[in-house]
Amino acid sequence: MRKMVEAQLKLVPDLLRVMRKRYEILRQIRLSGKTGRRTLAASVNLTERSLRTELDVLREQGLVEIGPSGMALSAEGERLLEELEPFVREWFGLTRLEEALREAFGLKRVIVVPGDSDQSEAVKQEMGRAAARVLVGVLKPGDVVAVMGGTTMACVASHMQSSTPLRDNWFVPARGGLGESVDVQASTVASEMAKRTGARYRMLHVPDHLGEEAYQTMMQEPNVREVVEMIRSARIIVHGIGEAMTMARRRKLDERTMEELRREGAVAEAFGYYFDRSGAVVYRRTTVGLRLQDLERADTVIGVAGGRSKGEAIAAVLRYGQNDILVTDEAAAEEALKTMESRPG
């Protein structure tokens, strides 16, 4: 396959550029459902005139249907995208990125989707779709899955599906609420994953951070203690990764703590812990739910994060060494690998 592609590139140097452009158009239409031309043009970074030319080709090939309510993929378009996916990974260099990340950070598996989720919501949706497939693929009957909150995790939840109801599985929030939008809190994500797959779920109605006295009091509540025990026994953990100072602001940490994070060189946040570039934990707060030692006992830890701005944060969390599977995007993968190249020694 590689030799054939190389031969085609010699004859048609811009083959991959054209192929990637049309693939991105089809992928965006699939993710958006019915969509208008103006919205689609902005999503794939094309002028409406250029997009119109490409759509004419795709429509003539029977891949796209255009009606009064917008554009949608035809059945043939859906089939083509599925068939192209493994080849696209090779053509666009994603397979090489995946292998480089896997070796650099000692991971069992890496999935890289094309693009940069900092620049395109469609890329984040594709990342969520890929992560959902990975998660369903590793589930076994009786598994408890602990999930974190955040916009990326909510995206994963929106793409969860199973051909048969997962009645023997439980989804639980890995921690309490962040005090932000209910839609992206861990309890909401856990319930959405369960509802979409026919599984069961529990919710954790407690604040994200507690003082030591409040924590001890809360842990005396039988219902809270029962859910926390489920969380800490989870066989599978799914989490996002954030840039340290961004997450500190979201969690409304006081200025004194923010300054401590800067002084300690915090670059990443995951599971409620803050990490420096080497992957060392430099700060944590008392929280009801998942602890770092629980990751060590879990069989499968899946990290899901993308966007070039998170490359360094992803690398830092991976250096901590507890992740088994990473789902990310092309831009974040490239940036994470750069941090390895820039490290002394």
What is the tens place of the pLDDT at every residue in 7-41? Answer: 766 766 677 788 888 988 998 888 777 778 888 88
Q: What is the CATH number of the domain that holds 293?
A: 3.40.50.1360
Paired strand residues for 268: 243, 275
Q: What is the pLDDT of residues 260-280, one digit of tens each?
A: 999 999 999 998 899 999 999
For 302-335, the pLDDT digits (tens) are: 999 999 999 999 999 999 999 999 999 999 999 9
C-alpha–C-alpha distance, residues 247 and 178, integer Å:
10
User: 64-68, 74-78, 321-325: which has the minimum mean pLDDT?
Assistant: 64-68
Q: Give pLDDT tens digits for 88-100.
A: 777 778 999 999 9
> Does one domain contain both 197 and 144?
yes
Are 24 and 166 contained in the same domain? no
Last residue of a domain, one of 55, 90, 125: 90
Q: What is the pTM of this model?
A: 0.84
Instruction: Note whether 158 and 292 are same-domain residues.
Output: yes
Name the nearest CA neighbour of 46 among 7, 20, 65. 20
Spatial separation of the C-alpha atoms in residues 38 and 245, rounded to whole Å: 35
> In sequence order, which residues have a C-beta less than 8 Å from that of residue 42 and are 6 or more positions away?
none
What is the C-alpha separation between 82 and 63, in angstroms, rounded?
13
Q: What are phi and psi of 14, to 5 degrees?
A: -95, 20
Q: What is the pLDDT of residue 298?
A: 94
Report the pLDDT value the prediction gives residue 77, as an integer from 0 to 100: 92
DSSP one-letter string for 214-248: HHHHHTTSHHHHHHHHHHHT-SEEEE--EEHHHHH
Whole-angstrom distance, CA of residue 237 vs CA of residue 303: 8
Q: Are residues 104 and 223 both part of a single domain?
A: yes
On whether both 130 and 84 belong to a single domain, the answer is no
Which amino acid type is present at position 200? R
Confidence of residue 345 (pLDDT cuts 50, 70, 90): very low
144 shares a domain with 63: no
- Tally of domains in the chain: 2
Task: Tell me which residue range forms the domain holding 25.
Answer: 2-90
Q: Are residues 38 and 175 in the same domain?
A: no
Cα 198 from Cα 176, distance rounded (Å): 23
Same domain membership, residue 155 and residue 27: no
Instruction: State whether 182 and 167 are in the same domain.
Output: yes
Q: At what angle do helices 2-11 and 15-32 cross, to 10 degrees?
A: 110
Q: Is the pLDDT of residue 1 over 60?
A: no
Residue of 147 and 285 predicted with greater confidence: 147
Residue at a domain's end among 61, 90, 119: 90
Helices and strands, number each (H, E), in the chain: 16, 13
pLDDT of 64: 92
**Which tokens hold the place of 150?**
């955040």
C-alpha to C-alpha distances, 339 to 42, 178, 314, 328, 335, nearest whole angstrom: 31, 30, 10, 16, 7
What pLDDT sits at residue 207? 67
pLDDT top residue among 123 and 180: 123
Q: What digits encode the pLDDT tens for the residues 170-214?
A: 999 998 765 567 788 999 999 999 999 999 999 887 766 666 666
Last residue of a domain, one of 49, 69, 90: 90
CATH number, domain at 84? 1.10.10.10
Residues pairing with 172 in the sheet = 146
Q: What is the pLDDT of residues 134-176, one digit of tens each?
A: 999 999 999 999 999 999 999 999 999 998 999 999 999 998 7
My answer on whether 83 and 175 are in the same domain is no
Identify the H or E element spanning 113.
strand 109-113
Structure tokens at 90: 């090779």
Mean pLDDT of 208-226: 71
> Same structural domain for residues 116 and 263?
yes
61 with 131, same domain? no
Sign of CA dihedral 19, 25, 30, 34: negative
